[in-house]
Amino acid sequence: MCLSSSSTSETRPSVSNQGQGSLSKSRKTSSTRLASLRVSLRKRGFSEGATKHLTKSVRDSTSIVYDAKWSIFSDWCSEREIDPFQVTVQQLADFLVFLFESKGLCPSTIKGYRSAISRTIHISGGPDFGINEHISLLVRSFSLERPRQKTLVPKWDLGLVLSFLKLPPFEPAETIDLRFLSYKCCFLLALASGRRRSEIHAFSISDACLRFNRDKSSVTLLTDPAFLAKNQIPDKGAEPVVIPALPSDSISVLLCPVRILSIYLERTCSLRSVSNSRLFIPIKKGISDLSVKTISTWICKCISLAYGSSKAELLNSFNVKAHDVRGISTSWALFNSASLEEVLSAGFWRNENSFYISLPPIYGYFCREFILSWTYSFSTKIELSSCFFCYRGFSFTLDSVTQNL
C-alpha cells in the first residue's frame, strides 16, 4: 500500500490550493460584481485593505454562486437601462417575477437570487432588500403558487446497488479496471461516512489525514485542514471519520470500505504525483486534478450501472443524485440508535429540521414526528450483525439495508 511519508507530506501543498488557484484568479478578474463592489466601497471612503476584506466576507463557493446570479440580474438591468446598484424595490420585484414567470424558476432558487442581490447592494451602501416586507411577501406568494415537491426516499434501490457492487465489473477489486474501482471506493466511502461530495473530494492521504489501524480493523479519514465544509464553523476543526472494517468471514466483505480503500491506495500509488495529496485521483490521463462534480459522477455511475440492463427511460425516471447516498447513510444511522446530536455533528447540520421532513406522521417513516417518537422511545440498542458501517460510534447494518429498502 502506498501512503505518504512524513517527508513527502511536508512538500505537498494543501488540497485547497490545488485546482483552485486558477479558478480563483479567473473569478477575481472576471467578476463584475466584485469589481463594481470594490469601486462602490472605495467611493464611500473605505481603505483598500478594508475593501479587500469586505469583498471576501463570504466563502469562495458562495461568492461564485453570487457572481453568476448577479450577472443575470445585471444583464436584465442593462436591457432596461437600470443601474443594478440603484435598483428600486419595484424594479427588483419585477425581476423576481421575471424569474418566476418567464424563466420558470422554483421559489428556493429565486430566494438565492434575492440573497445575492440584497447582500451585494446592502454592502455597497444601498437598502437591505433581504428584509424588505414587499419582497418577502412576493417570494412567499411564489412558494404558495409553486410549492416544493418533496421526495421522502430516493427512487433507486440501495439493496440492488450493493448487490451489484459484489459482482463484475466491480470485483475482483485487485484486478478490475481502475475506473470501476474508483467508482466503488467513492460510493462506499460516501455511504459509510454520510459526507457531502465536497468533503469526499477534500479527503487527503497525508499522514495527518489518513490512518489505518495496525490490523486494518478500521481507517480514520480527515479532510485537508485548509478545507471548510458547508455549514462548518470556521474556527471549529473537522471531525474525523472512523470506518471499521467488516470481518473477513462476513457475507458482505466485498462491500467493506476499508478493504476497498486499501486496494485503491495500493493500485494508485504509482499514479500519484507528489504535488497532489487528494485521496481520489483522476482516471483519465493528462488531467492533474479532479473536480467536485467528478465525485458526484462516480457515485451516480455505481447506481446507473446497477440498472444498466434496464431501459433508458426507466433509468432516467430514477433521477439519480449523489446526495441521496448521504441522506440514506445518516437516516440508517438514526434508525439504528445513533443519537440526534451525533448525526447532526457528523453532517455539520445546525438543527434537527435540516435533514428530515417536518410533515404529519401519516406520510411515513421519514417524517419528523415519527422519527422523534421512534428514537426517544427506543431504549435498547439494536444488536448489530457483523456487517456494519460506522461513523463516530454510530452504525448501521448492510443486511438491514438490503432487507428493508
Number of domains observed in the structure of the chain: 2
**Model confidence at 386: pLDDT above 70:** no
CA dist 335 and 351 (Å) reads 18
Q: Tell which wins on pLDDT, 40 or 135.
A: 135
| pLDDT tens-digit readout, 217-234 | 999 999 998 898 877 777
Q: At residue 92, what is the residue type?
A: L
Same domain, 168 and 275: yes
Same domain, 133 and 197: no
Write down which residue in 319, 343, 371 finishes a domain.
319
- Judge if pTM exceeds 0.75: no
Kindly state whether residue 76 falls inside one of the protein's structural domains: yes
pLDDT value, residue 99: 98
Kindly state whether residue 4 falls inside one of the protein's structural domains: no
Residues of the domain holding 125: 33-145
Same domain, 169 and 271: yes
Kindly state whether residue 327 falls inside one of the protein's structural domains: no
Write down which residue in 300, 319, 338 finishes a domain.
319
Most confident among 140-154, 187-201, 225-239, 354-368 (mean pLDDT): 187-201
**Which grid coordinates belong to 193?**
461516512
| pLDDT tens-digit readout, 117-152 | 999 999 988 999 999 999 999 999 999 999 987 665
Kindly state whether residue 7 falls inside one of the protein's structural domains: no
Same domain, 177 and 313: yes
Give the containing element (helix H, strand E) for 244: strand 241-244
Kindly state whether residue 339 falls inside one of the protein's structural domains: no
In 12-157, alpha helices (H): 21-30, 32-43, 48-54, 60-79, 89-97, 107-123, 133-145
Same domain, 163 and 311: yes
Distance of CA 367 to the CA centre of its chain: 22
| pLDDT tens-digit readout, 55-91 | 888 888 888 899 999 999 999 999 999 999 999 999 9
Same domain, 298 and 224: yes
Kindly state whether residue 279 falls inside one of the protein's structural domains: yes
CA dist 266 and 264 (Å) reads 5
Kindly state whether residue 98 falls inside one of the protein's structural domains: yes
Kindly state whether residue 18 falls inside one of the protein's structural domains: no
DSSP of 323-381: HHHHHHHHHHHHHTT--HHHHHHHTT-SSGGGTSB---GGG-TTBHHHHHHHHHH--SP
- Which residues have CB under 8 Å from 380's CB, separation 6+? none
Same domain, 56 and 174: no
Q: Tell which wins on pLDDT, 174 or 17.
A: 174
Same domain, 196 and 107: no
CA dist 159 and 328 (Å) reads 11
CA dist 9 and 205 (Å) reads 9
Domain of 232: which CATH number? 1.10.443.10
Q: Tell which wins on pLDDT, 185 or 167.
A: 185
Write down which residue in 284, 319, 354 finishes a domain.
319
Same domain, 226 and 204: yes
CA dist 258 and 212 (Å) reads 9
